[in-house]
Amino acid sequence: MGNHDIGSASDKNGDGYHHPFDNITSLPDCFQSWFEYNSNDLITVFDVEGKIKFVSKSVQRWLGYEAEEIIGSPAREIIHIKDHEKVRGLIGKKPDQTHHANLLVKDREGRYILMRAVISKKYNPQDDRNYILSVAHHITDNEMMQEQILHSEKMTVAGQLAASVAHEIRNPLTSLKGFLQLLQAGIQKEEEYYKIMLEEIDKMEAVTSELLFVSKPMTDERGSESLKEMLEDVITLMDTQAKMQSITMRAKLEEGIHIFCDRSQIKQVFINIIKNAIEAMQEGGLLEITTRKDGNRALIDVIDEGPGIPEDLLKKITEPFFTTKKNGTGLGLMISNQILDKHNGFMKINSNPNIGTTFRLVLPAE
């Protein structure tokens, strides 16, 4: 990588190490330099101690530094302190996994700019060490607007769910109050009452923790996640709203299916799709959620018993701001499509032969 490759020290010592661009089929240094400087991406390599070993010449355009100025410097000096823990977490991941993160990076004037980075740990057999490779680009106004829309929709969903969760929590609270009054009165079934009270508290904890998860800012940190566990979490949260509309949720979730994803984003997709199905079932009924593995793909089906979607609306339904609901934003399915696309997945919507609609989500399975 130019004069600042990981192996640049051994080049200077003349120990026979050959730069990857030295062979006849590689780009000349002047070509590589041109690509480095004019690329929209900022390429950085640092060791697991956090010292910068290489940075592309585009750093001058993006951050105002000359590459030579920051080679050997700790990465923490240019990354905002609030992102240090995030970067340390990425460094601790297994080699060869790709992770995405938004980072605040300081330029030469001391200002912080928001950059989206793709980060991976890679092993270098020439010195038997691991290094962290990063390709980052400045987040444009358009990307920031999309993120703001995503966050706005996320908070709208959290607010709508909060109303049904508050209603559902009243029931176990009433039970807890009643049992405490009985215990105060000296009723002799303490152990039995304690057991029921703990079960009610567990239910409230599960629902409220999922609601808090929904309201958290969206991340972009990926790892191997259990499809079954993610869907069970979402079903726990959505079951409250389903019961209020006389809907029975039935899940058939296969064990052992894992996907490499951002947990918060994919759970947001599941919430959007299941919430959409519940709202479509005004007369109640059965809502089925099934998963299965098909080769290297995970298939998630959400099958409702709503009125179905007319053929002429099937193509419009994922367009921004298109909605048939009185209080809908028209953004849920559009955002779900964007998230699936970022995860190399997609969604298919089909009207069922007799009643309702099937939303099929397809994602790469590990």
Helix (H) or strand (E) holding 253: none
Mean per-residue pLDDT, 35-40: 65
Percentage of the chain modeled with pLDDT above 90: 14
Beta-bridge partners for 104: 114
CA 43 to each of CA 11, 98, 108, 172, 331: distance values in angstroms, whole numbers, following the listed order:
21, 15, 17, 54, 34
Q: Identify which of 137, 125, 163 has the alpha carbon closest to the alpha carbon of residue 44.
A: 137
Kindly report the backbone phi and psi dihedral angles of residue 46, in degrees, each rounded to the nearest multiple of 5, phi listed first: -135, 155
Mean per-residue pLDDT, 193-209: 72
Kindly report the backbone phi and psi dihedral angles of residue 310, in degrees, each rounded to the nearest multiple of 5, phi listed first: -60, 150
Q: Tens digit of pLDDT for each residue in 243-264? A: 888 999 999 999 999 999 888 8
pLDDT of 22 higher than 50: no
Higher pLDDT, 280 or 286: 286
- Least confident range from 65-79, 132-146, 344-358: namely 132-146
pLDDT of 193 higher than 60: yes
Q: Are 119 and 103 in contact (CB under 8 A)?
A: no
pLDDT value for 124? 85
| 263-284 burial: b if 16+ Cβ within 10 Å, else e | bbbbbbbbbbbbbbbbbbbeee
For the chain, domains (ranges, CATH) are 2-139 (3.30.450.20), 144-364 (3.30.565.10)
pLDDT value for 185? 72
Dihedral sign of CA atoms 18, 24, 29, 32 in order: negative
Higher pLDDT, 106 or 6: 106
pLDDT band at 95 (very low <50, low <70, confident <90, very high): confident
Q: What is the rounded distance in angstroms from the CA atom of residue 24 to the CA atom of residue 301?
A: 53
Q: What is the rounded distance in angstroms from the CA atom of residue 310 to the CA atom of residue 281?
A: 15
From its phi and psi, is residue 80 left (phi > 0), alpha (psi between -120 and 50) or beta? Answer: beta
Higher pLDDT, 11 or 197: 197
Percentage of the chain modeled with pLDDT above 70: 66
- Least confident range from 82-91, 143-152, 205-214: namely 143-152
Across 160-164, 184-188, 269-273, the highest mean pLDDT is recorded for 269-273
Q: What single DSSP character describes residue 140?
A: P
Q: What single DSSP character describes residue 186?
A: T
Q: Tens digit of pLDDT for each residue in 336-356? A: 888 888 888 999 888 877 788
pLDDT of 306 higher than 70: yes
Q: What is the rounded distance in angstroms from the CA atom of residue 85 to the CA atom of residue 83?
A: 6
Q: Are 181 and 193 in contact (CB under 8 A)?
A: no
pLDDT of 298 higher than 90: yes
Report residue 163 as tokens: 């109303």
Cα angle for residues 66, 71, 76 (degrees, 5° grid): 105
Q: Tens digit of pLDDT for each residue in 316-332? A: 555 544 444 544 444 56
What residues contact residue 210 under an 8 Å CB cut-off, 6+ apart? Answer: 233, 234, 236, 237
pLDDT band at 147 (very low <50, low <70, confident <90, very high): low
pLDDT of 360 higher than 90: yes
3-state secondary structure at position 239: helix
Mean per-residue pLDDT, 229-256: 88
**Count of CB atoms situated within 10 Å of the CB of 345:** 20
Tell how strand 112-124 and strand 129-138 pair up: antiparallel
Environment class of 295 (CB within 10 Å of its CB; exposed 0-12, middle 13-18, buried 19+): exposed
pLDDT value for 294? 92
